[in-house]
Structure 1
């Protein structure tokens, strides 16, 4: 048998025989697919490509049967968005996510591609994910034998580059497996996107370099649709595309193919389209043309996190710590919850424009800014731990993105509004943290502690304080000054009952930190947990004693939390005047 006959038999047998392989993890690929490295290997296993919709459906079924969650890291959507996505994928629908900014719409599209698309074999070095076995078998035989192929239909199967690679290398043509993550194409819809960007265009450089004719397919440069071939094309903010460009997508959704320019060829990208839209554009402005909206068969509404817990977990997962040394940074759970409460309160406030939304990104960016504030004000200069506390919160205005609705949306009004929200949340957080913590004798003892004494808080207690001794007996704060610094631990020596309570509160914090880590791991969150782990040095028995400066920041954070709580007991234990806490008169 001649070489040509051998190749013919190999290809015919491969095309006509069902594959025998199975993969418990991914549908339609062999378990050891990474060992299939050449076209010969691919033909010998009788590989058959399955459509994108089929892959998504079958892989989702595998995950459901195995009780696996393909949407790990998506928090707060378990009972709403996720079931809708599963229904849509099982039905083979293209999807439109409708929701405000910062609701994880594009993240959902990424996960669908990454977790639910099977790896596919492409000819290494091709831009349009060319699968050689998608060629008609007679074409593949001719290419392997080094011949030109005679095309009788105007359908695009593989690129000219792919044909040349197979013609030159035959059965030794290199195969590369690309996973779903690599076949995900994100496109932010902007007014400057053209029809050619979507469907491709004539490449003048190719024409000049190769000396080819103007409308030869060899001059074609693929657009977004073909670049995401056999994968997912995510069109973010679809309504921004004008109607003429939206029409381009209709034939892909309706018939699974498109044409471009004067090329006598039609393309079948087998691409799943997932689009996103803002509710204002989607429901009020009508910027998605009706035929396109109709062909995006599942319209799924997303939403912001409904609970403090959900948004706090998202905050932990998404915060960017810029490779900070986790040993030098500690984020108390009450600070994380404070940031979350602030933005949940803003988001749901009647004076805030709900049409614009308040993104979870504001929550994340505000925590990052808060950490930067601590570094700038205290940590870098004094070489101390980075631990945010209540007195640092005023810095978050720069990352608080919201628009006032009921009153004039000026910078001054937004600052005043945010300050009021911060004060409310400090009260809520402190009451929540110490709920059930105190008994009446504790409060009586603390009130007695504050008789004729006061406690002063400051954002940077390490700086030299400007104070002036009065002719009368100096108060407790003046006595507590250490080398001109208003250290919290030094002041605390004047308050033995308060000291005991803070020690207990630190232990309570340790328990809450551990509970939060356990909760995060239960949701599959692994990122950034080291920044909320209770530091080993915080467990020392001499915490808060003399010469124990490294815990000053932890004590300062806990003291500020506790003093705020004591303002809001019923009746209040303390009054606050500027930055000084004083005891009140009355019975507990």
Structure 2
């Protein structure tokens, strides 16, 4: 069907305009009836965040997403455009997406008055109806609402008080669409008052001139929960006009985290996709690192540990394994625990440390997180499996160092020297000893698990040795001896 190009043609089609919140509500109801997935790529929110979003949209509420960084807030907000119609008609040339049947701007009213049914019509896609702004303290009223443009006044011969001299800001340009503000508490108080006036009265003041703008906008915000609830950060009338507060969260289970990381991490690379094999225990260990970090008292809880941490770590782990395959000219690429240690630079920037953590250093905390994560996953795989002979071999003064650049042949020679290590490490897995890359990964995983249980130790070079450099305190608990590094008092 051809689209109408004039107001008369649009009337002839019987087109009826609806408010944006009614439009989103109607399209949401259709999606729910068809059992469509509402937010593709959003994992772990089906029982928590998504139902609350549905209720808010069905209620025609403005809403705010409260959550720490890396909880898919921005992705959810951007996917709300899928609830808009594919295209809507506007008066051609309008800066504020004027409805041809109910124009709100002076330009729109004048154009309709001048051309009547011959008024030219343009069509706007759903993506063009989404406007997003990151709130910062330097954002001004002119950015959000608009300002008087002296050049427009001079060219058109208008008084400065004439509405036609206004250069509209982001909010009016989002008319008949969605306007999103990220990190709402960072907006200055006077900007918040301007937003409140728009939400409540539909009017604005620009340079002291009152302008009536009954905007049709769906307002969506995001914020850190602590900033949002802090007294004085948000003016009370604005908070009162936000219909629904929705709290996001990090994955509650390892399996959900693994699914997110598998979806987001760039591992399907040219020339590598067919050769790469990522063992489940490596995926789970990487994900467990984030879980351990979120519970660690040395890491700032208010900043959170973004889901981007396991994603970037996974990419670095695969890159280190890829680098090893290029150096050793091996075809199979199977990441190992050593590759996770090589990915520490991808972890340290994702953690905001408390005072205690700053004293220890991000690098050491990252190593500790890897150790604890590997121990947690190891305990799940090797329930009731004994490595006594391997531990005894280390207690006799022997050691093994599996460098992250060592070839599979070199690693197998070293691992075969440890009594019953290979046989015991393969018990929970369904691959055979002949699959050397996976066997090496499993053995190194087992060694890291023994290290996490303090049955053996691991030095700075990545070598596994006996627990000779650990001490016991008065309660009999084993802890790392820091005397060699000087990090003790």
TM over 0.5: yes
Shift of 1:555: 4.2
Change (3 A) 1:55 1:435: farther
Shift of 1:380: 4.4
**Correspondent of 2:445 among 534, 556, 561:** 561
Change (3 A) 1:53 1:488: same
Instruction: Give deviations 1:188-233, integer Å, cap 9, x for gaps.
Output: 1111110111111123443455555434433322211112111111
SS in 1 for 2:404: coil
* Residue in structure 2 matched with residue 77 of structure 1 by the alignment: 45
Deviation larger for 318-327 or 219-228: 318-327
* Residue in structure 1 matched with residue 380 of structure 2 by the alignment: 432
Change (3 A) 1:82 1:553: same
**Correspondent of 2:18 among 50, 54, 61:** 50
* Residue in structure 1 matched with residue 136 of structure 2 by the alignment: 190
Structure 2 residue ranges without an equivalent (≥5): 468-489
TM-score normalized by structure 2? 0.80
SS in 2 for 1:59: helix
* Residue in structure 2 matched with residue 421 of structure 1 by the alignment: 369
Larger Rg: 1
* Residue in structure 2 matched with residue 92 of structure 1 by the alignment: 60
* Residue in structure 2 matched with residue 63 of structure 1 by the alignment: 31
Change (3 A) 1:97 1:132: same
Shift of 1:307: 1.5
* Residue in structure 2 matched with residue 339 of structure 1 by the alignment: 286
Report if aligned partners of 1:337, 1:429 keep a CA contact under 8 Å in 2. yes
Task: Give the length in aligned residue pairs.
Answer: 459
Question: 1:102-117 to 2 correspondence within 5 Å?
Answer: 102-116=70-84
**Correspondent of 2:177 among 225, 231, 241:** 231
Question: 1:90-489 to 2 correspondence within 5 Å?
Answer: 90-116=58-84, 119-123=87-91, 126-135=94-103, 155-156=104-105, 159=108, 163=111, 167=115, 170=118, 173=120, 175-179=122-126, 181-207=127-153, 210=156, 212-261=158-207, 265-320=211-266, 324-325=270-271, 326-375=273-322, 377-382=323-328, 384=330, 386-394=333-341, 395-400=343-348, 401-405=350-354, 407-410=355-358, 412-435=360-383, 455-462=400-407, 487-489=410-412
Separation in 2, partners of 1:420, 1:449 = 25
* Residue in structure 2 matched with residue 16 of structure 1 by the alignment: none
Shift of 1:576: 5.1
RMSD: 3.9
Report if aligned partners of 1:52, 1:117 keep a CA contact under 8 Å in 2. no
SS in 2 for 1:276: strand
Separation in 1, partners of 2:203, 2:315 = 45
* Residue in structure 2 matched with residue 26 of structure 1 by the alignment: none
Shift of 1:75: 2.0
Shift of 1:506: 6.0
TM-score normalized by structure 1? 0.67
Shift of 1:457: 1.4
SS in 2 for 1:225: helix
* Residue in structure 1 matched with residue 486 of structure 2 by the alignment: none
